[in-house]
Homo-oligomer: A and B are copies of this chain.
Amino acid sequence: MSKLIGSVVTLAHGGGGKAMRDLVAEIFLPAFDNPILGVMEDQARLELGALSVPGARLAFTTDGFVVRPLEFPGGDIGKLAVCGTVNDLAVGGATPLWLSCAVVIEEGFEFEKLRRIVASMRASAAEAGVLIVTGDTKVVERGAADGLFITTAGVGVFPPWRNLAAVNVRPGDVVLVNGPIGDHGAAVMAARGDLALETELISDCRPLNGLMNALLDAAPGTRCARDATRGGVAAVLNEIAAAAKIGVAIDEAKIPVRPEVDGVCEILGLDPLYLANEGTLVAVVPADQADAALAAWRACAGGAESCAIGEITAGPSGDVVMRTRFGSERLVDLMIGDQLPRIC
């Protein structure tokens, strides 16, 4: 227990006075330690420097995280909050640079847990090569939130020539994934404990900017990339099909799914295509660059099991069709909601 801030968060820690100053000084500043954050003005001041080339554009994104439980095999809400925002920047082809971190904490939350989560944010930010440069802390009464919510926003820079977008895909392009799908959804579900599932599953939560750099080097014609979070690979493919007004055809037999994930899905009547991921990259590349892209990914952490799972077709426009293991075809539609609330 810290003499300065006690063992649990109180309403005073969100009050804008000494208690909040002490919390920030004891928990956030040392973890996110960097000269920009240390300035403690109301806004971070960021030098674009060499990135400010003519025509450079900024990338800007945000994500709120409400995952339950807060800690699960392979990650926690802090790692999610950093990786999720880094990935939303990276999949567009931007270089992620700076993150913000706003927390809403429920009164009574343990500082020890908060420290672990903040340490996890620090580690993920270091892995992704980004700085957490600005933040905010709010505390609400017991019962007015569920432990801890984290919202991150991120800023990155696009080189002038980069233009990845779903509308760029063309019939004949190949659809790639960087590895087995559904790990995050299945791992979080198992961690909730209400299922009494014993698995070795861990979330795939990871920063994807390394894989994106490898992809863009090896396959400079890459049309677009997305990370398949809520709604899973199915949602991403549907978004691409709808935006580009083309069709997508995938092969069930080619889609990598771990046996444990398949097992969880079978017990619960779920479909791994719709399970959330937090380190799964879906990319669409011209057919003649697919092998180079896969070779590059396979040499990267998080890419060893990369493979092609299908291709872009002329249509019907907006349709995602899966060739099943039995040789039939079925439509992979967008779900109404999610199989699992609060997965991220």
Contacts and interface: CB of A to CB of B under 8 A. Distances in A.
A29 interface: no
Q: Is the interface of A mostly helix, strand, loop or mixed?
A: mixed
A17 interface: yes
A11 interface: yes
Contacts of A235: 16-17
A140 interface: yes
Given A62-B136, A98-B60, A230 B151 contact: no
Interface residues of A, number: 85
User: How many copies of this kind of chain does the complex include?
Assistant: 2
Nearest to A234: B17
A47 B58 CA distance: 7
A138 to B, nearest CB: 5
A195 interface: no
A54 B17 CA distance: 38
Which of A15, A57, A94, A239 neighbours the largest number of chain B CB atoms within 10 Å of its CB? Answer: A15
Interface of A: 10-21, 39-48, 52, 54, 56-66, 87-89, 91-92, 94, 98, 100-104, 133-141, 143-146, 149, 151, 153-156, 158, 165-166, 226-227, 229-231, 235, 239, 243, 276, 334-338, 341-342
